[in-house]
Structure 1
């Protein structure tokens, strides 16, 4: 394993030396405790998420087994715990529902293996192409909205199981109507089981956050069925769960074309969640997870899981947090969690058969609601109202258009937001702080800042290129017509690149300005921008007398020329 070759610092003596990776007995104890603790959280949630995906419950166990082992050997995050998540489950359900609408078990198993393998292939290819940066294409506000939308969809999907009502599922609006129409026919006993589970989970999360709340809730549900014979009172049970290792499952080539689009979207979300969870819980003494290596690790984990019929997986924030809080030191903790899953498949499957559907639904709902972060929405609104609108658009897109369409919308909104920002670069008018040589952007907070008669100082920011040069030129022209200066100083310290189209526009603007009796001076050119200008006609037009390293030098030259006679200080 990668981590064992470079383990975290510890005082205990290594038990293996020479060429073998060093590992400490102190780390082993911490990893075993953490791994078992995480197993108590992951296994019930994986079972629940399998039902969200519309798959047999044992698929959740398969997803929490081999993918964990593979990631432990290939991943770069020490605490990251890999199985599946609510987001991936609902995306999987949408994808499988299109290729296996009748829910045929054999076809569903094959489709699941095909989808998971395609997700794995997508992630591995992205790693080989070094596309780790792609995860950054979904902005935080849009991702916040996307996850909130996913949570709403999951809650609506699971509520019928919590209430004990039945109807044919459809789109979001149809499902909401079905729930409302079915309320008079709900099962009071089923609702009581679900409500008790929700109450237990919420109480434990608040009072004993380190306790394996999902495991205790599931155990309580199974005990209630065994002791109170709840099935005779209308409480639906999971039913028989196969005991033993899963059979080898091979993908079906005929399903590839139908599942590829969904696989790409699921791969993106898997990678985004994986990197977010890995980065969120890295310690100061640990290396930051490598994005491209994480693509490879999660891709291989999905490919391996596909052979066992597992659903698409990735790193989970909740289980990773539990792993870290429980004291995990290396990825050995994940191997221990996988061993706990194996024990469940071989020994504990008969007990899982007694689990109420309402209990699983309650587990899903409680942890899915956690995807909705009102504080984050408020923070976005307080900082930028526009990005708050983007977050809401992502919510609405997921809820009304569907999860797969929602992820496309989320990416589109993020890219449009990026395009909007780069197409309208910031442009500041600078003024001098009284009694100093400090120049800063004009602001209502500094009404006494000094503007110099005849001099307009502008500071654009960012890359200036064909998509924003015209917009920037229009804003500069407007400011010039308002101020009517003799000299326009462009402070380009915040401009790191000047594209050819933009350079041509600047050359034309300088010529036009000079013909109108004004001058353009340039200040603070970066080496790259300076080299571009040096190779263009603009360099000869400006000469050394109108290009400056510092803004203070340009201002001093203008003021000296103004004192000398009020004329434009060209070439002084």
Structure 2
């Protein structure tokens, strides 16, 4: 099942070592604090995000084929994890963590099952509008969830979704802590300024370091809340909890789909022209193995992240060795620097999350859909609205269903059109594709409409675009021939490929029709 081990390291050149190391360090300064922040979105301790930068990263580096992708976790995955876990009846923190790690393991199994049945191309058929809707829903949901931490107020323990969260936060504005608001504003400002004017500077590292120094040298922690203590050392072994599997499976499937789509999208966006094309089956396998490794080592489900992968590429990463370097940096943080992170304000993590998801909210995509395809616009809006009101799992499920509706609508369109290069004494039509049960009737009806509008003496039907013979194809041609003959109109079939003609001659009706003059040259 594994085609090659460490495929990106084959043919490794000595000149790639330095840029790989520098890129891995640069990406690590972004991905480590960001992954810790994303863990808070999922309602899990920050060290779970840190651990996601260890085993899953190394596992992907050993199997993945995308050279510059940095795999940890994403805001989309974190929101879906939070939504999935919220649907369980969990008694304490240990049960919550056990369910979370079981979910990560199940995501890996779903990805491997998708690889086994070669469903990569099918999953990639999910409408871009669905992904746009998911990004909008996730972005707004995440932004709302960070408001209490940014204001220094208690979050609503009952949750209630996007609108309830925003309303509750607005109602608590008079109780906001001034020091926390200042820290939040400063962190957001620094991150935005560095992103705009100095993108080569690791903004998350700068604000984390600055916040830790601030807490260590002042008494700001008297009002500014800090994160829970981060334990030093490596994560322990976490075994799946079989009793949670059934309840977690729907969420695991949705997360697996999104993890695969995000990873492949990032991989293709960051692929250099001289690099091999992205193999979707290999990415399914690599992401699945990374998620299995994460499920056993206390992590969130992993996926390729846009921001850290962009840093990786911009810093010159040539292979997945850069990801191994990032994992080594995360290991150093886990073993030696965890106590330092105890002085990190929660508001700074919230600021990093807020800035990181701003890129998800791009109204220009909706404008494009409105100009080009209103159906896609409605898909994006419906998915976003359902995600904000009913949860992102519902939004993803409905988005996938709407994608299938759009696909069926597209393939069910008539496959016949006027042709303008046929004989002058006949109506020339052409089949624009193959016929199957879903589009045969509409093709038949459209052909009859075109014929009766022109009222010709004969019709020439060009079938050059047909590459496969189906029973609906034979039935449609037979029905057209019979109906036109009843109106005194002759039908001639032209342009058949030799291999198509060979199969058609296995039909007794076609052989008889051929002898009666069905086939003709233009």
TM-score normalized by the length of structure 2: 0.94
Cα distance in 1, alignment partners of residues 452 and 319 from structure 2: 64
Which residue of structure 2 aligns with residue 419 of structure 1? 408
Cα distance in 2, alignment partners of residues 360 and 304 from structure 1: 26
Which residue of structure 2 aligns with residue 141 of structure 1? 129
Cα distance in 1, alignment partners of residues 386 and 496 from structure 2: 44
1:31-50 paired onto structure 2 within 5 Å: 31-50=20-39
Tell which deviates more after alignment, 312-321 or 31-40. 312-321
Cα distance in 2, alignment partners of residues 463 and 160 from structure 1: 57
Instruction: Mark the CA change 1:100 to 1:162 in structure 2 (over 3 Å): closer, same or farther.
Output: farther
State whether residues 8 and 66 of structure 2, in contact with CA within 8 Å, keep that contact through their aligned partners in structure 1: no
Cα distance in 1, alignment partners of residues 94 and 281 from structure 2: 35
Which residue of structure 2 aligns with residue 530 of structure 1? 501
Shift of 1:290: 1.7
Structure 1 residue 293 and structure 2 residue 282: aligned? yes
Cα distance in 2, alignment partners of residues 4 and 395 from structure 1: 37
Q: 1:540 aligns with which of 512, 517, 522?
A: 512
Cα distance in 2, alignment partners of residues 368 and 404 from structure 1: 19
State whether residues 494 and 519 of structure 2, in contact with CA within 8 Å, keep that contact through their aligned partners in structure 1: yes
Shift of 1:305: 1.4
Cα distance in 1, alignment partners of residues 429 and 347 from structure 2: 64
Structure 1 residue 51 and structure 2 residue 47: aligned? no
Tell which deviates more after alignment, 351-360 or 182-191. 182-191
State whether residues 90 and 96 of structure 2, in contact with CA within 8 Å, keep that contact through their aligned partners in structure 1: no
State whether residues 429 and 461 of structure 2, in contact with CA within 8 Å, keep that contact through their aligned partners in structure 1: yes
Structure 1 residue 430 and structure 2 residue 419: aligned? yes
State whether residues 462 and 495 of structure 2, in contact with CA within 8 Å, keep that contact through their aligned partners in structure 1: yes
Q: 2:138 aligns with which of 150, 156, 159?
A: 150
State whether residues 461 and 492 of structure 2, in contact with CA within 8 Å, keep that contact through their aligned partners in structure 1: yes
Shift of 1:53: 0.5
Which residue of structure 2 aligns with residue 386 of structure 1? 375
Which residue of structure 1 aligns with residue 475 of structure 2? 504
1:104-115 paired onto structure 2 within 5 Å: 104-115=92-103
Shift of 1:315: 1.4
Cα deviation code 1:126-175 (max 9, x no counterpart): 22222222321312222122222211111111122112232221222322
State whether residues 239 and 354 of structure 1, in contact with CA within 8 Å, keep that contact through their aligned partners in structure 2: no
Structure 1 residue 283 and structure 2 residue 272: aligned? yes
Structure 1 residue 226 and structure 2 residue 197: aligned? no
Shift of 1:491: 2.5
Tell which deviates more after alignment, 461-470 or 254-263. 461-470
Cα distance in 2, alignment partners of residues 215 and 332 from structure 1: 22
Instruction: Mark the CA change 1:290 to 1:175 in structure 2 (over 3 Å): closer, same or farther.
Output: same
State whether residues 425 and 462 of structure 1, in contact with CA within 8 Å, keep that contact through their aligned partners in structure 2: no
Q: 2:229 aligns with which of 240, 250, 269?
A: 240
Shift of 1:32: 0.7
State whether residues 151 and 369 of structure 1, in contact with CA within 8 Å, keep that contact through their aligned partners in structure 2: yes
Cα distance in 1, alignment partners of residues 458 and 88 from structure 2: 67
Instruction: Mark the CA change 1:198 to 1:460 in structure 2 (over 3 Å): closer, same or farther.
Output: farther
Cα distance in 1, alignment partners of residues 484 and 370 from structure 2: 42
State whether residues 80 and 255 of structure 2, in contact with CA within 8 Å, keep that contact through their aligned partners in structure 1: yes
TM-score normalized by the length of structure 1: 0.86
Which residue of structure 1 aligns with residue 460 of structure 2? 489
Cα distance in 2, alignment partners of residues 180 and 542 from structure 1: 77
1:438-517 paired onto structure 2 within 5 Å: 452=424, 455-517=426-488
Provide the aligned length of Structure 1 versus Structure 2: 515
Cα deviation code 1:24-55 (max 9, x no counterpart): 43211111100000000100110010000000
State whether residues 100 and 108 of structure 1, in contact with CA within 8 Å, keep that contact through their aligned partners in structure 2: no
Which residue of structure 2 aligns with residue 95 of structure 1? 84
Shift of 1:478: 1.9
Cα distance in 1, alignment partners of residues 506 and 63 from structure 2: 49
Cα distance in 2, alignment partners of residues 336 and 413 from structure 1: 41
Cα distance in 1, alignment partners of residues 479 and 310 from structure 2: 57
- Which blocks of at least 5 consecutive residues in structure 1 are unaligned? 8-22, 432-437, 440-450, 555-572
State whether residues 41 and 78 of structure 2, in contact with CA within 8 Å, keep that contact through their aligned partners in structure 1: yes
State whether residues 39 and 340 of structure 1, in contact with CA within 8 Å, keep that contact through their aligned partners in structure 2: yes
> What secondary structure is seen at the aligned counterpart in 2 of 1:236?
coil
Cα distance in 1, alignment partners of residues 207 and 461 from structure 2: 65
Structure 1 residue 316 and structure 2 residue 296: aligned? no
Instruction: Mark the CA change 1:118 to 1:470 in structure 2 (over 3 Å): closer, same or farther.
Output: same
Shift of 1:483: 1.5
Cα distance in 2, alignment partners of residues 4 and 367 from structure 1: 28
Shift of 1:545: 5.2
Shift of 1:488: 2.1
Shift of 1:5: 5.0
Which residue of structure 2 aligns with residue 562 of structure 1? none
Structure 1 residue 340 and structure 2 residue 356: aligned? no
State whether residues 433 and 465 of structure 2, in contact with CA within 8 Å, keep that contact through their aligned partners in structure 1: yes
Which residue of structure 2 aligns with residue 26 of structure 1? 15
1:163-178 paired onto structure 2 within 5 Å: 163-166=151-154, 167-168=156-157, 169-178=159-168
Q: 2:356 aligns with which of 345, 367, 384?
A: 367
Structure 1 residue 60 and structure 2 residue 49: aligned? yes
Which residue of structure 2 aligns with residue 306 of structure 1? 295
Cα distance in 1, alignment partners of residues 452 and 196 from structure 2: 62
Tell which deviates more after alignment, 515-524 or 532-541. 532-541
State whether residues 460 and 493 of structure 2, in contact with CA within 8 Å, keep that contact through their aligned partners in structure 1: yes
Which residue of structure 1 aligns with residue 345 of structure 2? 356
Structure 1 residue 121 and structure 2 residue 106: aligned? no
Which residue of structure 2 aligns with residue 160 of structure 1? 148
> What secondary structure is seen at the aligned counterpart in 2 of 1:178?
helix
State whether residues 9 and 319 of structure 2, in contact with CA within 8 Å, keep that contact through their aligned partners in structure 1: no
> What secondary structure is seen at the aligned counterpart in 2 of 1:520?
strand
> What secondary structure is seen at the aligned counterpart in 2 of 1:547?
coil
State whether residues 462 and 497 of structure 1, in contact with CA within 8 Å, keep that contact through their aligned partners in structure 2: no
Shift of 1:311: 1.1
